[in-house]
Amino acid sequence: MNEPRQPTCILAIESSCDETAAAVVRDGRRVASNVIASQHELHEAYGGVVPEIASRAHLERIGPIVDRALLEAGIDLEDLDAVAAGVRPGLIGSLLVGVSFAKALAWSRGLPFLGVDHVESHLLAGLIDRPEVAWPAVGLVVSGGHTCLYELSGPLDLRLLGATIDDAAGEAFDKAATMLGLPYPGGPELDRLAEDSGAEPEVELPISLMRRDSLDFSFSGVKTAMLYAIRGTPRREGGRTVFERSGEDLAPERRAVLAASFRHAVVAALVRKTTLALETTGARTLLAGGGVVANRLLRRELEALAVARGLELRMPEMAYCMDNAAMLGVTAHERLVRGQRDPLETTASPTTRRAR
């Protein structure tokens, strides 16, 4: 059953990893502003996010980013009904910047504060600017930090069906891209190489299925297989692991074939488990969110799956696939209209809720 839309104006703040973001969301569905400051240039040299650098950059940027979000939405603080922030999961020092800022703002203006879950919000990004969803739904979150399948009987009623037991899909894409010598952050680069080269996935890499009836994922095996495919079989020599060749020796055509093969293996695992989740739940809608949903092969495969099963697929626009604050505003709206508020004692947590 669809909830009646209630008019709300919510400022949401995101600082869980390496994006400082703020958004103003109206009525839980319309994005009045969506400002994102990426820190990629600060972490590039290290090949990954450095927590201490990330939290310091959030601290410098959060004030101006919130100002810009209000300005672009054409509103003042008086127009707000609530302030929300992503409270989990993420880097604790980074999360604390956004959460403390949001709580201080809420307290000083006498507004309700809502601390929302970042991973669950990735799924609700599919509600932005769209008609109401037919529940129940299966939700697939694929990001740099998380790979989860949920059953949803409403926007806030989630049951975790499965999750990765090791690497997240985005993390695996990033690591494989590094092995191929592609620039950071590598997921989109690997996708681009596979797509633009038109290379066939000729190298057989393992498609992780865990147990046949399990809805969990594992991507460490395909990552190791990729390493061996690039550098040959390792051997021990004088107490050290030595590979047959270096990643730099890869011919461009071989690099493209390996990129296509890796993308194929990861996407196949995601699609097979999503299909199993749809079969076991009888869901009418498939919600997909998180940075990896920008992957073109995954988008095509999910579209084909939805057509084959006659269900509605909700994939957010690219801007709402990657980390953003607008998706947090949607979750905060759903909670606010149900009378939910969080106390100012609420604090950040590095892990997500595991409601299995």
Interface with ligand KG4 (CB under 6 A): 17, 143-145, 170-171, 173-174, 185, 187-188, 191, 290-292, 294-295, 322-323
Q: Which pairing describes strands 9-14 and 82-88: parallel, antiparallel, or unpaired?
A: parallel
- Closest to ligand KG4 by CB, 9 vs 326, is 326
* Region from 1-9, 79-87, 141-149, 255-263 binding Zn ion, contact rule CB under 5 A: 141-149
- The whole-angstrom separation of Cα 103 and Cα 86 is 11
- Closest to ligand KG4 by CB, 117 vs 174, is 174
The correct pick among 323, 326, 331, 334 for binding Zn ion (CB under 5 A) is 323
- Closest to Zn ion by CB, 57 vs 325, is 325
Our CA dihedral for 25, 322, 38, 41, rounded to 10 degrees, sits at 180
Tokens of 126: 């599919």
Tokens of 75: 């509103």
The option from Zn ion, ligand KG4, none interacting with 230 (CB < 5 to 8 A, set by class) reads none
CB of 35 to ligand KG4, least distance (A): 15
- Closest to Zn ion by CB, 20 vs 143, is 143
- Closest to Zn ion by CB, 144 vs 155, is 144
Tokens 């103003």 -> residue = 24
Q: 15, 62 in Cβ contact below 8 A?
A: yes
The option from ligand KG4, Zn ion, none interacting with 292 (CB < 5 to 8 A, set by class) reads ligand KG4
For residue 354, count CB atoms less than 10 angstroms from its CB and return exposed for 0-12, middle for 13-18, buried for 19 or more. Answer: exposed
CB of 145 to ligand KG4, least distance (A): 4
Pinpoint the alpha helices (H) of the chain. Answer: 40-43, 51-73, 92-109, 118-124, 169-179, 186-197, 220-231, 252-281, 296-309, 318-321, 326-336
19 forms part of the interface with Zn ion (CB under 5 A): no
The count of C-alpha atoms lying within 13 angstroms of the C-alpha of 315, restricted to the half-sphere facing its C-beta, is 17
- Closest to ligand KG4 by CB, 98 vs 291, is 291
Buried/exposed 211-238: b ≥16 CB within 10 Å, e otherwise = eeeebbbbbebbbebbbebbbeeeeeee
- The whole-angstrom separation of Cα 139 and Cα 123 is 6
- Closest to ligand KG4 by CB, 120 vs 323, is 323
- The whole-angstrom separation of Cα 173 and Cα 188 is 8
The option from Zn ion, ligand KG4, none interacting with 115 (CB < 5 to 8 A, set by class) reads none
The residue count for binding Zn ion (CB under 5 A) is 2
- Closest to ligand KG4 by CB, 105 vs 205, is 205
CB of 196 to ligand KG4, least distance (A): 12
Three-state secondary-structure class, residue 81: coil
Q: 157, 139 in Cβ contact below 8 A?
A: no
Residues of span 105-134 touching Zn ion by CB under 5 A: none
Q: 206, 222 in Cβ contact below 8 A?
A: yes
Q: 250, 229 in Cβ contact below 8 A?
A: no
Residues at the site binding Zn ion, with contacts judged by CB under 5 A: 143, 323
